[in-house]
Structures are given as C-alpha cells and as structure tokens.
Amino acid sequence: MYEFFLLDTLPQQQTNIASYTLDGRKVWLKKAAKRNSRLTYLPLTLLAKWLRVDALKPVHNLGGKQSIAQEAARIKALSSAGVAVPTILAEAPEALLLADAGSENQPSQTLLDKLLTAQQVEEIDHYLMLGTQALNDVHARQCYLSEAFARNILVNQEEVVFIDFETDPGERHELIDCMVRDWHCFIFSLYGKLSKRDTHRERLAFALLNGLRQAQPAVRERFLTTLPRLARLNRFPFQRFGSDGKKIAITLQALSLLNQQLSAK
C-alpha cells in the first residue's frame, strides 16, 4: 500500500515535502530536491578556516537521489542505535514516505514551536531540558545528527524525535566534531529565534550550562575550545546590521558568558 501510494503521488507533488492522510494516518512524502550551489557554503567555509573551528565547516547537501539515499541510510543507522527518528514506510530512488512522529490525538510540534508558545518558566525549562537531554542521549550512543536545529527536533508528549538527515557530517568531520557541531546548531538556532524574549534567553542560558555539564567530557572540552575562537567575532558590530545582525551579536555574547561559566573552577 505505502509503495503504491509513493509511486502514484510522487509525480503529482510540486513541493519537496508534503503531508497526506493515508488510511487514517498522517504521512510525509519527501522528494529529491535540487543540489545547493557550492557558493552557498563559501562564507561559512572561509569563516571556519579563519577561526580554526573545524566543527563549523559546512556539510554539503548533494541533492537529488543522493540526498534521498543519504537520508534513508542515516535514518536506518540512527534507528538501529536507538535514536528516535521517523519510520520509513516506503522508499524509492527519488523519494521517501515517512510516518508522522505524532498521532491523531497528539500531533507533534517542533521544539521551537513549543518554546515560542510556552509562557511559564516551568514550561520553558521543561522543553529546554527535553532538548538538551535528548541531544546528550544521541551522543552517548556514539551518534550525531545532521542539522540539529530546533526546527528539526519534534516533541510528542515526552518523546523527542529528530528529523532531516539529507547530509552526513561524518563524511567531513571526525565523530567528536560532529557532536560539537550538533551543539552549535542547537544553540544558534535557539538564540536566533528567542533573541527578543528575555525570559526565554535567561532560561536557555541556564539549560545550556546544565546540558553541557552533563555532556560527555570529550564533547564538552572540544566545545569549550571553540568558544574563545568564536569570541573573536565580538569585535564586529553585528548589532548594526538589522535584526539578523542583532541575533548574531546576542548569540555571541551568550557564548562568551557560557565559556566563562563552564571554564570556572
């Protein structure tokens, strides 16, 4: 049934990913997307080289059938390791049919959406703790994600499910740097979206401090080595360059404070 639905629906789907209801179940059809231009990665490549932070080197999305094959392989490998990822219902060279992480009565939401709607400190702390604990659990299994942004972390009741695996950072980075990269993706994605919410930023700083203290020592120590190098960016007046610049400035300031707290004896 799933294979027939994928092959029948794929030619008609215009977007890269779309949801459907199949036999009372929500599913997602993800089709091959175009390859990103290499020029897209050039600024971050140069920045990582200048700062000497290998974990920041971008991982290219190859697009097309290669990205679909990559995602299928990564989902299967992570699932075998015990990491919560979507279930593959059917696959073809050009697309994957994935089960939704939620249910009819309890739809899943991204961690980002959960935090943006959270009002109480206890609720904010709860979702931040879910995120940091889930990330540490992935690393404890000697695994890593692809793009550990808050939008790629789904929350379904008390379960966290990770999505979006079109790339494999392990092809470009050593294992420890893949894990450090996860933390940077997680941190930058959250500060960028929560930059105008004082309470959220305060609780995020507290959650990151606790989460990194509970991380594997090797991951924490490698992460710490990146912070003084990132601090070099504080000399640039990012806050003068619109809302995006202000988000970068806030994130860099938060990382400097995190460095002081984690380095304190």
**DSSP state string for 208-247:** HHHHHHTS-HHHHHHHHHHHHHHGGGGGS-GGGSHHHHHH
Helix 42-51 vs helix 217-230: crossing angle, to nearest 10: 100
- Confidence tier at 40 by pLDDT (50, 70, 90): low
- 265: pLDDT strictly greater than 70: no
Q: Determine the structural domain holding residue 222 and report its residue range.
A: 109-263
* Greatest extent of the chain over all pairs of C-alpha atoms, in Å: 61
Q: Averaged over 115-122, what is the pLDDT? A: 94
User: Is 42 contained in some domain?
Assistant: no
User: Is 241 contained in some domain?
Assistant: yes
174 and 215 both lie in a single domain: yes
Q: Which two tokens stand for residue 163?
A: 């999505």
Q: Which of 99-108, 141-150, 202-211, 227-236 has the lowest mean pLDDT?
A: 99-108
- 103: pLDDT strictly greater than 80: no
Q: In 3-state terms, what secondary structure has residue 254?
A: helix
The reported pLDDT for the residue numbered 234 is: 77
> Looking at 48, 73, 99, which one is the last position of a domain?
99
The reported pLDDT for the residue numbered 202 is: 93
Residues 6+ apart with CB under 8 A from 60: 36, 38, 41, 167, 172
Q: Averaged over 47-52, what is the pLDDT? A: 81
79 and 123 both lie in a single domain: no
180 and 139 both lie in a single domain: yes
d(CA 216, CA 178): 13
Q: Which residues pair with 20 in a beta bridge?
A: 27
d(CA 69, CA 76): 11
The reported pLDDT for the residue numbered 106 is: 77
User: Is 52 contained in some domain?
Assistant: no
More confident residue, 204 or 47: 204
Q: In 3-state terms, what secondary structure has residue 43?
A: helix
162 and 67 both lie in a single domain: no
Q: Averaged over 112-126, what is the pLDDT? A: 95
Enter the pTM of the model. 0.92
More confident residue, 241 or 116: 116
Q: What burial class does residue 22 get, using C-beta atoms within 10 Å of its C-beta: 0-12 exposed, 13-18 middle, 19+ buried?
A: middle
What is residue 1's DSSP assignment?
-
Q: In 3-state terms, what secondary structure has residue 100?
A: coil
Query: Helix %, strand %, coil % for the chain, to 5?
Result: 60, 10, 30
247 and 128 both lie in a single domain: yes
Query: CB–CB of 230/258 below 8 Å?
Result: no
User: Is 159 contained in some domain?
Assistant: yes
In the structure, how many helices (H) and strands (E) does the chain have? 9, 7
The reported pLDDT for the residue numbered 34 is: 74
Q: Per-residue pLDDT tens for 125-136?
A: 999 999 999 999
Q: Averaged over 250-262, what is the pLDDT? A: 88
User: Is 251 contained in some domain?
Assistant: yes
87 and 122 both lie in a single domain: no
- Confidence tier at 241 by pLDDT (50, 70, 90): low
The reported pLDDT for the residue numbered 237 is: 75
Q: Averaged over 136-154, what is the pLDDT? A: 96
- 13: pLDDT strictly greater than 70: yes
Q: Please state the φ and ψ torsions of residue 164, each to the nearest 5 degrees.
A: 75, 90
Q: Which two tokens stand for residue 227?
A: 């912070």
d(CA 187, CA 144): 15
- Confidence tier at 1 by pLDDT (50, 70, 90): confident
79 and 18 both lie in a single domain: yes
- 190: pLDDT strictly greater than 60: yes
> Looking at 81, 99, 117, which one is the last position of a domain?
99
Q: What is the mean pLDDT of the chain?
A: 90
Taking the CA atoms of residue 197, residue 198, residue 200 and residue 203 in that order, the dihedral angle to the nearest 10 degrees is 170
Task: Report the CATH number at residue 15.
Answer: 3.30.200
Taking the CA atoms of residue 152, residue 157, residue 158 and residue 164 in that order, the dihedral angle to the nearest 10 degrees is -20
The reported pLDDT for the residue numbered 196 is: 85
d(CA 19, CA 206): 36
68 and 118 both lie in a single domain: no
Counted domains in the chain: 2
75 and 137 both lie in a single domain: no
User: Is 50 contained in some domain?
Assistant: no
11 and 78 both lie in a single domain: yes
Q: Which two tokens stand for residue 21?
A: 């209801």
> Looking at 47, 78, 99, which one is the last position of a domain?
99
- 52: pLDDT strictly greater than 70: yes
- Confidence tier at 25 by pLDDT (50, 70, 90): confident
User: Is 48 contained in some domain?
Assistant: no
Q: Which two tokens stand for residue 196?
A: 């105008």
The reported pLDDT for the residue numbered 224 is: 94
